[in-house]
Structure 1
Amino acid sequence: MDALAGLLEGPRARGAFMIRACFDPPWAVRVEDGAPLTVMLMVRGDAWIVPDTGERLRLRAGDLAVARGPDPYVCADDPATAPQAVILPGGACSYPDGRPLNGSMDLGVRTWGDRADGEAVLLIGTYLVRGEIGGRLLDALPPLLSLTSEAWDNPLTPLLMNEVTRDEPGQEVVLDRLLDLLVIAALRAWFARPSAAAPAWYRALGDPVVGRALRLLQDDPAHPWTVATLAERTGVSRAALARRFTDLVGEPPMGYLTGWRLALAADRLRDSEDTLGAIARRVGYGSAFALSTAFKRVYGVSPQEYRVPTPSPSAAPAQAPAQTPAPA
């Protein structure tokens, strides 16, 4: 497994919230949905993304932004424009004073805003559940990042524009996979930049010793690794490996291995019907009990609670704008 594949294998949307947003200035929407990751692709016109804290960001046609939740932000034609709508968890939408919009901005299938042929058009895709995005990927990203149209070649825009407003059988799955592809393509380009603020372990993969140790751990997490066996496989002393690994990655080899095993276990819990015992063996734990103990210590919940999270009343979709055709 190469480093980028290991980082990007996480995105797996399931019923992601995707719309085409169309506006005429002045316009502004405040986003308070708490979503773990949202992608905004500017198709036509300009927009500003203004987080509550941090630097604001301007998007022009062809540019893309990725917002890592749960912090709120405003998307607007101008930073000074007051929000006219608020996006809440589950795609619910209200006026700033809390009154529900009741579909007044629906423009058709997955189309929402002022006018279907508005001056500003954005494609917005939102992962609704953190488990759909690997924790290692989220931890590697800043709260807000962008790619200009000059920085990456995106062949997906025409396909997304064509598919987002279709209402065919299986369309939700098609859009989920397209969103995954868009995220992977964008982040691959973002991490490839010379100035990319990649995580320490990602940069460490370029080191001839630590990089080999990382690949060994990533490729075979179930192996009974020790610092001694890693040192033997990388051709250095145990002390030298431990020191070099910690300096470059920011944690000791066995600490990294524990995090990697638990991250893999978390993905398997959400993405498969495997028993806890089978998952434990797959990621390198001797028993379901050992995995459960380590998992709860790090994640704060048991594996079973992580696999079937208790739904939050506030996260239930009260109104999902533009997911169905507008009434005639």
Structure 2
Amino acid sequence: MDALAGLLEGPRARGALMIRACFDPPWGVRVEDRAPLTVMLMVRGEGWVVPDDGERVLLRAGDLAVARGPGAYTCADDPATTPQALILPGGECAYPDGRLLNGSMDLGVRAWGDRLDGATVVLIGTYLMQGEISGRLLDALPPLLSLTSEEWPCPLTPLLMEEIGRDEPGQEVVLDRMLDLLVIAALRAWFSRPEAAAPAWYRALADPVVGRVLRLVQDDPAHPWTVASLAAKAGVSRAALARRFTGLVGEPPMAYLTGWRLALAADRLRDTDDTLDAIARQVGYGSAFALSSAFKRVYGVSPQEHRAGRAAWESGGGAVGRVV
């Protein structure tokens, strides 16, 4: 599995919030949705993204920003502008005093703001669901990262502008996949920068020994791997692998394997109706009991509770009351 594509390989965007926000200055929006990841692509005009913690960023036409939740931030034409709207969990939109906007800023299909031909237009894609496989990568991201049009000219902008306004069968799936592609491509560009703090396991993929072991584990987590079998595949001794792997990744090979297996299990619990026994076999545990014990030790809840949390999110209308 390609490590960066693995960011969204499990809980890919599914019913993500995709809108075209159109404003005339002065404008400001306070975002407190606690979403795991939001991407903002400035199409026209400019605007500031001001996180509660961290440096603010000015986006000009063609620039892109990625905000990692759950921290709050404000988007505005000027950092001093008072927000006119508040975005809450699930994409619900309210006035700053908490009263619901009730569609008063809707401009049509996936369009929101002042007017469609506003001076500022920004495409926004928000992942509303937590996903465990991507956790290792998300944890390595700053609260806010940005790429200028010079650093990463986005070839998807014209296509996104065309597709986001369509109202056709299957359009939500099309936009979900485009959002996945946009985020993966943006993070690939980000991690190629020398100043980007890529996670240790991501950097370790370039190592001829550790990189091979990581790919073996990621590609076939159900295999009964041991340090000895991994070392044999990599062509080194057990001691050499353990020392080299721990030095580059920050944890021993078996600890990494356990974390990867449990992340996969968490994903399958959310995204499938497979039994716990079936999931245990898929990720390399001998029984549902063994998986359940390991899962609760790491996540603090049982697999059943983890699955129930996702079901509660869906039945509670995770997408109810969205901006559009």
2:276 corresponds to which residue?
276
Distance 2:74 2:161 in 1: 23
- Give the aligned residue type for 1:48: W
Segments of 4+ moved more than 4 angstroms = 312-318
Aligned to 1:215: 215
5+ long unaligned stretches in structure 1: 324-328
Deviations 1:160-189 (A, max 9, x none): 111112221222222111111111221122
1:228-243 equivalences under 5 Å are 228-243=228-243
Question: Which letter maps to 2:215?
Answer: R
Aligned residue number for residue 100 of structure 2: 100
Whichever residue aligns with residue 322 of structure 2, its letter is: A
Structure 1 partner of 2:14: 14
- The equivalent residue for 1:77 is 77
Deviation at 1:317, TM superposition (A): 4.9
With 310-319 and 164-173 compared, the bigger mean Cα shift is at 310-319
Q: How many correspondences in the alignment?
A: 322
Give the alignment's TM-score, normalised by structure 1.
0.92
Q: Work out whether residues 13 and 132 of structure 1, in 8 Å CA contact, stay in contact via their aligned partners in 2.
A: no
> Does the residue aligned with 1:169 lie in a helix, a strand or coil?
coil
C-alpha distance 132-221 of structure 1, shift in aligned 2 (>3 A): closer
SS in 2 for 1:196: coil
Moved more, 46-55 or 6-15: 6-15
Residue number in structure 2 paired with 1:326? none
Q: Work out whether residues 11 and 271 of structure 2, in 8 Å CA contact, stay in contact via their aligned partners in 1.
A: no
How much has 1:193 moved relative to structure 2? 2.4
Cα distance in 2, alignment partners of residues 133 and 165 from structure 1 = 31
* Correspondence 1:166 to 2:166: yes
Question: Within 2, Cα distance between the matches of 1:133 and 1:2?
Answer: 13
Gaps of 5+ in 2: none
- SS of match in other structure, 2:131: helix
Cα pair distance change 1:263/1:12, threshold 3 Å: same
Does 2:322 align with 1:320?
Answer: yes
Which range moves more in the overlay, 89-98 or 40-49? 89-98
User: What is the identity percentage for the equivalent residue pairs of Structure 1 and Structure 2?
Assistant: 80
CA deviation profile, 1:231-264 (whole Å, cap 9, x unmatched): 2222322222212211110001110000011111
Provide the TM-score with structure 2 as the length reference: 0.93
Q: State whether residues 133 and 267 of structure 2, in contact with CA within 8 Å, keep that contact through their aligned partners in structure 1.
A: no
In 1, distance between residues paired with 2:121 and 2:213?
A: 46
Q: Which residue of 1 aligns with 2:196?
A: 196
Distance 2:261 2:292 in 1: 12
Match of 2:68 in 1: 68
Distance change (3 Å), C-alpha of 1:304 and 1:114: same
Query: Secondary structure in 2 aligned to 1:34?
Result: coil
- 1:188-247 CA-to-partner distances (Å, cap 9, x unmatched) read 222222333210011112222222222222222112122222222223222222122111
In 2, distance between residues paired with 1:141 and 1:47? 22
1:247 paired to 2:260: no
Q: Distance in 1 between matches of 2:232 and 2:165?
A: 56
- The AA in structure 2 aligned to 1:53 is D
Cα offsets for 1:246-287 (capped at 9, x unmatched): 111000111000001111112222232322111111111001
CA distance in 2, matches of 1:166, 1:233: 50
Give the C-alpha shift of residue 314 in structure 1: 8.8
> Relative to structure 1, is the Cα distance of residues 175 and 115 closer, same or farther in structure 2, using a 3 angstrom cutoff?
same
Counterpart contact for 2:6–2:134, Cα < 8 Å? no
Distance change in 2, residues 1:22/1:16 (3 Å): same
Q: Give how far 1:3 is off.
A: 3.0
**Comparing 17-26 and 91-100, the one that deviates more:** 91-100
Residues 119-158 of structure 1: per-residue CA shift (max 9 Å, x gap): 1000011111113872233223221111111112322111
Q: Is the 8 A contact 2:132 2:266 kept in 1?
A: no
Structure 1 residues 176-191: aligned runs within 5 Å: 176-191=176-191
Q: Deviations over 1:10-56 (max 9, x none)?
A: 45111111111001111110001111111101000111000111111
Question: What secondary structure, in the 3-state scheme, does the structure 1 residue paired with 2:172 have?
Answer: helix
Does structure 2 retain, via aligned residues, the 8 Å contact 1:14–1:132? no
SS at structure 2 position matched to 1:47: strand
Partner of 1:59: 59
Q: What amino acid maps onto 1:82 in structure 2?
A: T
Instruction: Tell whether 2:139 aligns with 1:143.
Output: no
CA distance in 1, matches of 2:104, 2:271: 37
Please tell me the residue identity of whatever aligns with 1:25. P
Cα RMSD, aligned residues only: 2.0
CA contact (8 A) 2:133 2:260 kept: no
For 1:194 and 1:8, how far apart are their aligned partners in 2? 23
Please say if residues 12 and 133 of structure 1, whose CA atoms lie closer than 8 Å, have aligned partners that are also in contact.
no
* Equivalence for 1:299: 299
